[in-house]
Amino acid sequence: MRMLSFLVTAVSAQVAFAQPPLDLPKASIVPGGVFITRLADEGNEPPEVTFDGKRVMVLRSDDRWLAVVGIPLSTKLGPASVLVKDGSATGVPVSFNVVDKQYPTQSLKVAPGKVDLSPEDEKRTADESARIRAALATYSPTAPSTLRLLQPVPGVRSSSYGSRRIFNNEPRNPHTAMDIASPTGTPVKAAADGKVIETGDFFLPGNTVIVDHGEGLVTMYCHLSKIDVKVGDELKRGEVLGKVGATGRVTGPHLHWAVALNQTFVDPALFLAMPARHGKPIPRRNKPT
Ligand SMILES: [Zn+2]
């Protein structure tokens, strides 16, 4: 029966693969997290999987296909499902349960003009957001060779992904990236092999570079003092794409590093190896935005 071949089992990455054939992100079924599921389909062609109508990464692992799904920070808690295309009109749903994660609130002081925008700046940010969304919608067919990413700059990683943001006492969108404290001029490295698909001097993110790594994995680097690449450049993991800066809406120099899967920004920490500080907690230090 056709349905049976698409029966899937939701598994955590660690449990499913005693010896992982792929370097997967850490699974975390929370808003802003990553859901990894093994598909029962053993065919040679990757099944097409969507979440909220957006194409999901599907990777080969031994004799099976894996779907690696980004969960939007705005996802409601409770049941959710991806759809596996099987030739039917609707596809076969694969359900999972999104559980709660408490994210902190941050209060920040920035230049007033970066919070209460003039009509011209409103228009500019809307246009720039559309460009960024278009870049995130890139789905190139070649899968990344690894989903373990390189931290683009050394420095203290903040745990500010998901935090609610209060700018000058006014609530704004939550933070959907990792901020890494680093001095202006520090080289920023590509987190994985990829192709530059957008660059710009944007009002809120400042100087920005967006890199496509394949199958919907896209990384974004913001507030740069200098951009060293142009659209179309092919980058190797670790290749310098720009320098740390304080352009856009910031309180000081840092890298705002965002990681997207299926057009949604997820927690970059899930894609990094755990910090090598045995037994010592990483100090919490947040640098917006
Ligand atoms: Zn940030």
Q: 102-114: per-residue pLDDT in tens?
A: 998 888 888 888 7
- Alpha carbon distance 183, 236 (integer Å): 23
Residues 45, 234, 154, CA angle at the centre, nearest 5°?
A: 105
Task: Calculate how far, in angstroms, residue 196's C-alpha sits from the geometric centre of ligand 1.
Answer: 20
Residue ranges of the domains in the chain? 2-98, 105-271
Task: Calculate how far, in angstroms, residue 48's C-alpha sits from the geometric centre of ligand 1.
Answer: 33
Distances (CA, A) of 102 to 32, 161, 163, 265: 11, 11, 9, 17
pTM of the model: 0.86
Q: Is the peptide bond before 37 cis (omega within 30 degrees of 0)?
A: no
User: Quick one: average pLDDT of 21-38?
Assistant: 91
- pLDDT tens digits for 239-260? 999 999 999 988 899 999 999 9
Task: Calculate how far, in angstroms, residue 258's C-alpha sits from the geometric centre of ligand 1.
Answer: 8
Identify the three-state secondary structure at position 68.
strand
Per-residue tokens: 158: 């903040």
Nearest partner of 162 among 270, 53, 41, judged by Cα: 270
Task: Calculate how far, in angstroms, residue 176's C-alpha sits from the geometric centre of ligand 1.
Answer: 7
CA 279, distance to chain mean position in Å, is: 28
- pLDDT tens digits for 118-136? 899 999 999 999 999 999 9
**Beta-strand pair 170-172/54-55:** unpaired
Task: Calculate how far, in angstroms, residue 30's C-alpha sits from the geometric centre of ligand 1.
Answer: 20
The larger pLDDT score, comparing residue 61 to residue 232, is at 232
Where does residue 166 rank: exposed (0-12), middle (13-18), buried (19+ CB within 10 A)? middle
Distance between the two ends of the chain, CA-based, in angstroms?
51
Secondary structure element (H or E) that encloses residue 51, with its range = strand 49-51
Distances (CA, A) of 71 to 132, 174, 275: 18, 15, 24
Task: Calculate how far, in angstroms, residue 165's C-alpha sits from the geometric centre of ligand 1.
Answer: 10
CATH no., domain 2-98 = 2.60.40.1590
Residue type, 247: T
Task: Calculate how far, in angstroms, residue 222's C-alpha sits from the geometric centre of ligand 1.
Answer: 8
- pLDDT tens digits for 158-200? 768 999 888 888 878 899 999 999 999 999 999 999 999 999 9
- What class, spelled out in words, does domain 105-271 have in CATH? mainly beta
- Alpha carbon distance 104, 192 (integer Å): 29
Nearest partner of 16 among 41, 35, 44, judged by Cα: 35
Task: Calculate how far, in angstroms, residue 16's C-alpha sits from the geometric centre of ligand 1.
Answer: 33
